[in-house]
Structure 1
Amino acid sequence: MRLISWDDTNVVFARTVRLLKNWNGTHSKPMCSWNIKALCLGCLDEPMPLINALQIFFTYAADEIDKGPTPDPADAAGPIPLNMPRADVHKRLRTARKYIDLAIEHEMAGRPLSAQHALHQVLPELVPDADGTQEEADRLARTVRSGGTAATGLALATGLVTPTRAWGD
Structure 2
Amino acid sequence: MHQSIPATNEIALVRSGSKRTLLQVLKDARERIQVNDDELDEARRRRDLLAGTLKSEFGADSRTYVNGSIAHGDALTPLTDIDLGVVVPNSDGSYGPYGRGPAELQERAAAAIRTAHKEEFPNLRVFVGGRKRSVYVSFGDPVDPNVADFSADVIVALDCWTGSGLWIPHYDNWDRSDPESHTGLVRDAAKRSEYNYSRTVRLLKHWARRHSKPLCSWNIKALGLDSLTDSMNQLDGMLAWFDYAIGDLSWRETPDPADVAGAISIPGDRAELVTKLSKARDKLADAISFEKDGYHVLAVEALASFFNDKDMLPPPETKAVTAQQLQRTADMRAARTSRVTVGDRPQTRNRTPTRSWAP
Q: TM-score, normalised by structure 2?
A: 0.38
C-alpha spacing 1:147/1:79, structure 2 compared with 1 (3 Å): closer
Partner letter of residue 270 of structure 2? R
Pairs within 5 Å for 1:58-73? 58-73=242-257
> Alignment partner for residue 276 of structure 2, among 73, 92, 95?
92
* Counterpart-to-counterpart distance in 2, 1:88 and 1:147: 37
Root mean square deviation of aligned Cα: 1.6
Choose from 41, 46, 49 the match for 2:225. Answer: 41
Which one of the candidate residues 323, 326, 329 is aligned to 1:134?
323
* Deviations, residues 43-65 of structure 1 (Å, cap 9, x unaligned): 11111111000101011101111
Query: Which one of 253, 256, 261 corresponds to residue 77 of structure 1?
Result: 261
Please state how far the C-alpha of 1:75 moved relative to its aligned partner: 1.6
Cα distance, 1:117 vs structure 2: 1.1
Identity %: 36
The alpha carbon displacement at 1:146 in A equals 4.7
Report what 1:31 is aligned to: 215
Q: Match of 2:197, as an amino acid? A: F
* 2:298 is the alignment partner of 1:114: yes
Larger radius of gyration: 2
In 1: Cα distance, 2:224 partner to 2:329 partner: 38
TM-aligned CA distance change 1:72 to 1:135, over 3 Å: same
Q: Give how far 1:128 is off.
A: 1.4
Q: Structure 2: any 5+ residue segments left out of the alignment?
A: 1-191, 339-359
1:3 is aligned to none
Q: 2:240 aligns with which of 56, 81, 102?
A: 56
Aligned equivalents of 2:285 and 2:193: distance in 1? 22
Question: What is the identity, as a one-letter code, of the residue corresponding to 2:327?
Answer: D
Structure 1, unaligned runs of 5 or more: 1-7, 150-169
Distance 2:204 2:336 in 1: 42
Distance 1:26 1:127 in 2: 12
1:134 aligned partner, one-letter code? A
CA distance 1:56–1:146, change in 2 (3 Å): closer
- How far residue 140 of structure 1 moved from its aligned partner, in angstroms, is 1.7
Output the CA distance in 2 between the equivalents of 1:26 and 1:120. 12
1:144 aligns with 2:333: yes
**CA deviation profile, 1:6-58 (whole Å, cap 9, x unmatched):** xx714110011100100111111110111100000011111111100010101
The counterpart of 1:15, out of the listed 199, 202, 213, is 199
Paired letter, 1:65: L
Pair 1:87–1:105, CA change in 2 (3 A): same
* Structure number with higher strand proportion: 2
Which structure's residues are more often helix, by fraction? 1
1:73 is paired with a residue whose SS is coil
